[in-house]
Structure 1
Amino acid sequence: MRHKFFITIFLLICFSTKAQDSVTLDTIYANDQKNVALFFPETIRQGVTGSDNFIFTYNRDKEQYFGLLQAKPGKASNLLVINKNGLIFSYIVVYKKQLSKLNYFIPSLSSIGNERPKKTESIVVDAPKKSIDNKAYYYQEFCSYLLNRKQRIGNIRRQNEGIVLSIENIVFDKEELYFVIQIKNTSTLDYDLNFLQLSVQTRQKGKKKSLQNIYQEPLFIHNRPTKVAENKTVRMVYVLPKFSLSDDRRAVLELNEKDGERNLSLKVSHRYINNPK
């Protein structure tokens, strides 16, 4: 059994080395004074480091979503982690005496591949069941991650009397779409929100053409304010179940002012919905 274990470790490190040849890996810093926590989108099945001066610990008896990394002074190495669903994550690990970051929330999109690529093309892998609290926690952390990235998908914006509504990014992760939304108030009056909602708009066929809006209920909303003060900007994330649109449909983001008329309707082409980041 011990012999098979070391063979497995050797093969994993070789696989990680090949992956690094074609993928630019992120760097994670650790030391021997503090635990650096890595939170993954699925439970950890296996984790291994490339040298003895780095230790990655995780619960081998009961699969959990996080592992702890520690390091002793020495040369840089690598960390390879495989989730329960087969996703592979690889990082350069470096010893650093002073740490500025102790928690890493790893999104699915940072995976370098899957250990079963042929099977995942045709077989849907059932995700492990999660409690509502775990799901909300993941949404919360991934939304924070997206706000910190500050990545733009295009120039999707509308303006009305000093209020600018824009969609900065649309990201697909697991089975959800994440809409990163910004409201900027360049006016001299505070803006009180009545509602901010997303709908799917369909053009009705026939002699009398009309538009039908179908409201999309968010699964989670992160950082939505009730007020945007004058000369202030707020950013938030709406999490919705994954959906796609045909050519005759589009998404519409509506911003409505409470006790006011500075309302905005932002139309989003099906191209952005069907091709998220």
Structure 2
Amino acid sequence: MKNSILLGSLFLASFFMEAQNTAPLDTIFANDQKNVALFFPNPIRQGITGADNFVFTYNREKEQFFGLLQAKPGKASNLLVINTNGSIFSYIVSYREQLEKLNYFVPQSESIGFEQPKFTEGSDSTNIANLFTDKTFYYERFCSYLLTRKQRIGSIQKRKNGIILSLENIVFDKEELYFVIKIQNKSSLDYDLNFLDISTQTRKQGKKKSLQRISQFPNFKYDVPTKVAEKQIKRMVYVLPKFSLSNDKMVVLKLNEKNGERNIKLKVSNKYINNPN
């Protein structure tokens, strides 16, 4: 996920970094044998690493002040953490077989800035506030970031007549689920997209079991194509309000071709919805 590209929130935060706090980033070393604990001055709201060989875990359900870092051998990357008060902390993370330090107590002074703007008397606060309260600004940058990541939630795909529909990732962020979707055209004929619909559906259980289908309306769609040319790949993101599913339900992605019959239904188990990245 990928080298120097950071979480979408950092695009917002970078506008408000205070010059006096922009010191060189410290390096935190980790490995896959021990947990490295980071204790912050405020509870963690969001934390993410820049590469798949690093994992930063924290309690997403109940606010806590610490997170755990582990690493596998690979290139160095970065860790971005945002506290509940909007403070931003950023570090270089690197793999090391032997660790000299297992616990880091992070002072507020190491914050590189704040997620939300701090207005001064002479600033055009109205214009800045309008820009950053427009959620489209955040959606576009976070979706763009997700399309650069190599993270996958599993091998979930369905193919028909040379058209492959894949669900690459599901990411939970700010009470929403981000579905990263790929359409690959291996045929010799262009694919004109009519619509791509996401719905929840009851699994069939016996002859008398009725089928319930409920459409999930996205809050935002990013990079949805109208055409996938022959031998091309298109990737997009659907942003849906957070939801969970019981064991008798699943998600269905329905891809429909305009003026054609290469229609695909991709079924996704409830376990992927209930355990997003």
TM-score when normalising by structure 2:
0.58
Change beyond 3 A, Cα 1:154–1:88: same
Q: Which residue of 2 aligns with 1:89?
A: 89
- Hey, what's the Cα distance between the residues in 2 that align with 1:79 and 1:150? 17
The amino acid of 2:11's aligned partner reads F
- Hey, what's the Cα distance between the residues in 1 that align with 2:105 and 2:179? 25
The alignment of Structure 1 onto Structure 2 pairs a total of residues equal to 189
Matches within 5 A, 1:7-156: 38-40=10-12, 48-50=21-23, 85-86=85-86, 88-92=88-92, 134-156=134-156
Q: Is the 8 A contact 1:203 1:248 kept in 2?
A: yes
Percentage of identical aligned residues: 62
Change beyond 3 A, Cα 1:190–1:80: closer
- Hey, what's the Cα distance between the residues in 1 that align with 2:80 and 2:270? 37
| RMSD, aligned CA | 3.8
**CA deviations over 1:72-107 (Å, ceiling 9, x no partner):** xxxxxx9998656355422249xxxxxxxxxxxxxx
Q: Is the 8 A contact 2:11 2:141 kept in 1?
A: no
Q: Is the 8 A contact 2:12 2:132 kept in 1?
A: no
- Hey, what's the Cα distance between the residues in 2 that align with 1:113 and 1:181? 39
Q: Report the Cα offset of residue 134 of structure 1.
A: 2.1
Q: Report the Cα offset of residue 172 of structure 1.
A: 0.6
Q: Is the 8 A contact 2:199 2:253 kept in 1?
A: yes
Q: Report the Cα offset of residue 209 of structure 1.
A: 1.2
Q: Which moved more, 1:240-249 or 1:80-89?
A: 80-89
Q: Is the 8 A contact 1:27 1:91 kept in 2?
A: no
**What's the secondary structure of 1:211's corresponding residue?**
coil
What 5-or-longer segments of structure 2 have no aligned partner?
A: 25-77, 94-103, 108-115, 118-128
Matches within 5 A, 1:191-206: 191-203=191-203
Q: Report the Cα offset of residue 238 of structure 1.
A: 0.5
TM-score when normalising by structure 1:
0.58
The amino acid of 2:164's aligned partner reads V
Matches within 5 A, 1:189-268: 189-203=189-203, 208-268=208-268
Greater Cα radius of gyration, structure 1 or 2: 1
**What's the secondary structure of 1:179's corresponding residue?**
strand
- Hey, what's the Cα distance between the residues in 1 that align with 2:204 and 2:81? 50
